[in-house]
Amino acid sequence: MLPQIFTIADLHARYAEGSLTPLALVDEVLQRIAASTDKAVWISRVSDAALRDAARALMKAGSPSANQPLWGIPFAVKDNIDCAGLDTTAACPSFAYRPQEDAAVVARLRAAGALLIGKTNLDQFATGLNGTRSPYGAPRSVFDSRYISGGSSSGSAVSVAAGQVCFSLGTDTAGSGRVPASFNNLIGIKPTKGLLPAHGVVPACRSLDCVTVFAATTRDADQVRRIAQGDDVRDPYARTAPQRPLPVSGFRFAVLPAAQREFYGDNEAALLYTESIERLKGLGGVAVDFDYTPFREAASLLYSGGFVAERLEPLREFIHGRAAEMDATVYRIISGASRFTAADLFADMTTLTALRRKTDAAWTQFDLMLLPTSPTTYRVDEMQADPVQLNSRLGLYTNFVNLLDCCAVAVPAGFRKNGLPFGVSLIAPAFADDALAVLAERLHRSGAFGLGIDRDATILESTMSIPVHSDDRIVIAVVGAHLTGMPLNHELTGPGGTLVRKARTTKNYRFYVLPNTTPKKPGLIYAPDAEGPGIELELWSLPAAAFGQFVARIPSPLGIGKLKLEDGTEASGFLCEAYAVVGAQEITELGGWRAYLANAAAK
């Protein structure tokens, strides 16, 4: 029997043991959709017969493989993203068209073996954060049908949280890939702008739009993101760049000071935010209060000035005379953008540039942010009675992210007493997606809040790890005087080095105190027959140019070689020539340089 919420690893394990087939899974998915009381989740679906045919085709072709890592995995797509054979409506029936090809991201996922189930509901033209602005109905929070599901990617989030699909695609301009995750106990990955190409996506704000991923676990969402990402010449805003590393231990994370924490009276949400801060500190982070003011001012530009005109640009011809065919709030927002001039936009661009100088300065004080994803939530009737003001509150901590070119991951962070979930977001500068996902996964596991609607589900241990290098940075393992707080650590921090994580070698190393060195240094020797405790070390990421200069200064008898780590990986790091340790004091049994210094100081 399948669990209430299924993951990629779980489905592939069942496929491998023969207890499940894609065809049987399709039947289960169809039964779950039919049994659901929330009929506003889906706008259109692949026909039952076509789904079964697709499942049979997968079974005939093979099984999960490196070429098809999503083989037999069911997914949903927000209905502002093209899928060949299904109408794209953007939740506006008179706008609907039938695309001849998949959007770039959908094509990549299908090529990886994923099974498209259908198109999901959204706030019309992706304009809103609440999920009630659609003629196809308002999807509800899976925990209480009186409450909003969050938008604009409402149906995409609910389809995953309810256990109807394994993952889904959404879009995010102001928070639409994060707020619905928060309201449904999910992971929501909002990648760096342009990392996932938007070819085949109906624009909301073309220069800010991001394709996003919802899943029950960070591991699943990140795997999908990696498969879907990559350049596409058909998207003028698509881009690629080397990934930016983040430290795993000793990382500094920004938190809202008490005076700037706004939860609109939701005291339980405020408490859950505080608890999330403590959990991230427990994972090795250092909390840093920061001034949210310039970020909040940047966020306000998205809807209150010239930037909103970008929502009008792709729909100028369509909306003329269409007020009766559109959601009233969406029509007012988009048509109202016509009052702004090019001069207004340029003035706001100047304001944003000035704010970016302030926010760039703030980023020098921390590596990432931990913010509430949304300060509170509302009932559907409350939102419909006050659709603009309450919607704007939902984006208090999300609207700035794309304007200031950040990536983000929304992470479940607990439940209120009434059973409604709360979420936080980890936010970092552009192209820190790989590293941010690892920290998000660890934060998620630390809370044990279940998966989607299943609060009792266990989040399995993950093999996710922060990459040890990128195209323009190289990681080096240090074991002695270059460790954090040691005399030569400045040789790493000075040229822009960052701590990636702590680690330990395998047992096959011997460790010595080198004589006649200033400052005192150790020597690490590879000894295949050794049975030691392993030697503690730190992995530091250096810019490639700085790495070359650093290595050139290393004095004999030290050098750089490959170290074997106890987690099965390798890293370039300090090794010593064997002649230099003849007669030297061996300290292998202490397991590291810090332990040696502490032991020597105690004598």
pLDDT digits (tens, 9 = 90+) for 244-302: 888 877 899 999 999 999 999 999 999 999 999 999 999 999 999 999 999 999 999 98
Q: What is the model's pLDDT at position 468?
A: 43
Q: Whole-angstrom Cα distance, residue 494 to residue 111?
A: 45
Is the pLDDT reported for residue 309 higher than 80?
Answer: yes
Tell me the per-residue pLDDT of 371-398, one tens digit each, with 9 for 90 and over.
999 999 999 999 999 999 999 999 999 9
Q: Whole-angstrom Cα distance, residue 511 to residue 303?
A: 60
Is 78 marked active-site? yes
Tell me the per-residue pLDDT of 216-258, one tens digit each, with 9 for 90 and over.
999 999 999 999 999 999 999 999 988 888 887 789 999 999 9
Q: What is the model's pLDDT at position 242?
A: 84
Give CATH for domain 8-264+274-447: 3.90.1300.10
CA 473 to the chain's CA centroid: 21
How do the residues of the chain divide into helix, strand and coil, expressed in percent and rounded to 5? 35, 20, 40
Give the distance between the most distant pair of CA atoms in the chain: 90
Which residue is listed with tokens 């909103």? 308
400-416 burial, b for 16+ CB within 10 Å, e for fewer?
Answer: bbbbbebbbbbbbbbbb
Closest CA to 6 of 164, 197, 114, 134: 164
| Span 436-451, average pLDDT | 94
Residue 108, classed as helix, strand or coil, is helix
Domain ranges for the chain, please list them: 8-264+274-447, 473-602
Q: What is the model's pLDDT at position 244?
A: 86
Is the pLDDT reported for residue 469 higher than 50?
Answer: no
- CATH superfamily ID and name for 473-602: Gamma-glutamyl cyclotransferase-like (3.10.490.10)
Confidence of residue 80 (pLDDT cuts 50, 70, 90): very high
% of the chain beyond a pLDDT of 90: 83
| Span 343-370, average pLDDT | 95
Q: What is the model's pLDDT at position 430?
A: 96
Selected catalytic residue, list 134, 152, 159, 541? 152
Is 44 marked active-site? no
Is the pLDDT reported for residue 465 higher than 70?
Answer: no
Is the pLDDT reported for residue 603 higher than 80?
Answer: no
| Span 36-48, average pLDDT | 98
Q: What is the model's pLDDT at position 576?
A: 95
Is 276 marked active-site? no
Q: Is the peptide bond before 152 cis (omega within 30 degrees of 0)?
A: yes
Q: Whole-angstrom Cα distance, residue 244 to residue 467?
A: 10
Is the pLDDT reported for residue 467 higher than 70?
Answer: no
Selected catalytic residue, list 176, 182, 425, 572? 176
Closest CA to 284 of 538, 461, 596: 538
Tell me the per-residue pLDDT of 179-201, one tens digit each, with 9 for 90 and over.
999 999 999 999 999 999 999 99
Q: Is the peptide bond before 74 cis (omega within 30 degrees of 0)?
A: no
Is the pLDDT reported for residue 460 higher than 90?
Answer: no
Confidence of residue 466 (pLDDT cuts 50, 70, 90): low
Q: What is the model's pLDDT at position 65?
A: 76
Q: Which two tokens stand for residue 339?
A: 């009052």
Q: What is the model's pLDDT at position 161?
A: 98
Q: Whole-angstrom Cα distance, residue 430 to residue 243?
A: 8
Exposed, middle or buried by CB within 10 Å (0-12, 13-18, 19+), for 308? buried
